[in-house]
């Protein structure tokens, strides 16, 4: 992003590249990890796409989201094996060449030693021309940034380190805070009041989420927004709504910036 004016919130899309999620072999946890950290920094995750390791799909997906969102993050497919085709696909998406990046080669050489720098490992130094590197403190093979697209590893521990690095560099917005209130009312009981409350606070986002715990149906009501004043005002009213319908709010989780992580 070249603009210098700080916005209230930024938008982001996440592209998860990996057959292992689509086959049901692996439970994705990267989405929630990334979503939480973006939310803390006023970056609204607007879309997640899970796609297979297929070149045309990576190119098409990257090109269809990179104009629509301030930031794009990708995970997966930057390793040494035949199914790791992310770097090449990103280069093609931007119409640039893939080249052996000197700094990436050095990083790999320092980690593995020159004797152990086999062909598959050298492949991990192939980076789109003009990209900036994202260091990998775990296994050396770097991620990279082309314009607003941030290409990270899929292994959670490595992705997390790369994300920390990226989040330290990019423009952040106002943290998005949220209050979660649990009760045992039916969703339909509070529907009308909640709808009116939402209309009263158009800048806040309100959601209701029924859930089963121990076979009992419960309801989580969530209010989210960047204005502490609005959030507090709406929360007060929501507590009144629950009490009005004869229930006591049973758990009250207030998520402000200070309390997060």
Q: Which residues bind a copy of itself (CB under 8 A)?
A: 19-29, 31-39, 44-53, 57, 79-83, 118-121, 123-124, 139, 155-157, 176, 178, 180, 187-192, 194-195, 198, 205-212, 217, 222, 224
Closer to a copy of itself by CB, 217 or 252: give it: 217
State the Cα–Cα distance between residues 58 and 230, nearest whole angstrom.
40
**Does an H or E element contain 117, and which?**
none
Q: Are strands 10-17 and 71-75 parallel, antiparallel or unpaired?
A: parallel
The smaller minimum CB distance to a copy of itself, of residues 83 and 232, is found at 83
- Nearest distance in Å: CB 80, a copy of itself: 4
Element (H, E) at 196: helix 187-200
> Would you say 37 or 66 has its CB closer to a copy of itself?
37
- Report in angstroms how near the CB of residue 186 gets to a copy of itself at its nearest: 8
Q: How far is the CB of 4 from a copy of itself (least distance, A)?
A: 27
Taken as a whole, the chain contains a residue count of 261
Closest distance to a copy of itself from the beta carbon of 242 (Å) = 14
List CB contacts of 48: < 8 A, sequence separation 6 or more.
13, 14, 15, 16, 31
In the bound complex, what is the minimum distance in angstroms from residue 130's beta carbon to a copy of itself?
Answer: 26
CB of 187 to a copy of itself, least distance (A): 5
Which one, 13 or 134, has the nearer CB to a copy of itself? Answer: 13
Provide the 10 A C-beta neighbour count for residue 136. Answer: 24
Reduced to 3 states (helix: H, G, I; strand: E, B; else coil), residue 190 is helix
Least distance between a copy of itself and beta carbon 217 (Å): 8
Tokens of 31: 């989405």
3-class DSSP string for 165-215: HHHCCCCCCCCCEEEEEEECCCHHHHHHHHHHHHHHCCCCEEEEEEEEECC
**Bridge partners, 205 (sequence order):** 224
User: Partners of 252 in the beta sheet?
Assistant: 181
Cβ burial 211-232 (10 Å sphere, 16+ → b, else e): eeeeeeebbebbbbbbeeebbe
CB 184 within 8 A of CB 146: no
CB nearer to a copy of itself: give 129 or 217.
217
Nearer to a copy of itself, 129 or 200 (CB): 200
In the complex with a copy of itself, the residue whose CB is nearer, 134 or 176, is 176
């Amino acid at each position: 992003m070249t603009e210098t004016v700080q916005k209230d919130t930024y938008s982001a899309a996440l592209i998860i590249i990996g057959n292992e999620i689509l086959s049901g072999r692996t439970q994705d946890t990267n989405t929630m990890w990334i979503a939480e950290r973006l939310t803390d920094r006023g970056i609204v995750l607007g879309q997640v796409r899970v796609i297979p390791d297929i070149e045309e799909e990576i190119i098409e997906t990257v090109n269809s989201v990179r104009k629509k969102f301030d930031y794009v993050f990708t995970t997966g497919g930057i390793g040494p094996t035949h199914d790791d085709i992310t770097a090449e696909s990103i280069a093609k998406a931007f119409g640039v060449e893939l080249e052996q990046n000197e700094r990436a080669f050095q990083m790999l050489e320092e980690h593995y030693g020159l004797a152990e720098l086999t062909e598959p490992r050298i492949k991990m130094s192939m980076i789109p021309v003009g990209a900036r590197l994202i260091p990998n403190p775990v296994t050396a093979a770097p991620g990279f940034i082309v314009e607003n697209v941030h290409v990270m590893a899929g292994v959670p521990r490595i992705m997390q380190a790369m994300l920390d690095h990226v989040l330290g560099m990019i423009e952040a917005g106002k943290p998005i805070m949220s209050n979660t209130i649990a009760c045992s009312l039916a969703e339909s009981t509070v529907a009308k009041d909640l709808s009116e409350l939402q209309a009263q606070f158009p800048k806040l986002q309100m959601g209701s989420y029924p859930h089963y715990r121990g076979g009992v149906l419960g309801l989580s009501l969530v209010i989210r927004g960047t204005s502490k004043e609005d959030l507090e005002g709406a929360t007060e009213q929501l507590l009144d709504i629950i009490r009005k319908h004869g229930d006591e709010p049973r758990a009250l989780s207030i998520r402000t910036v200070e309390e997060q992580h």
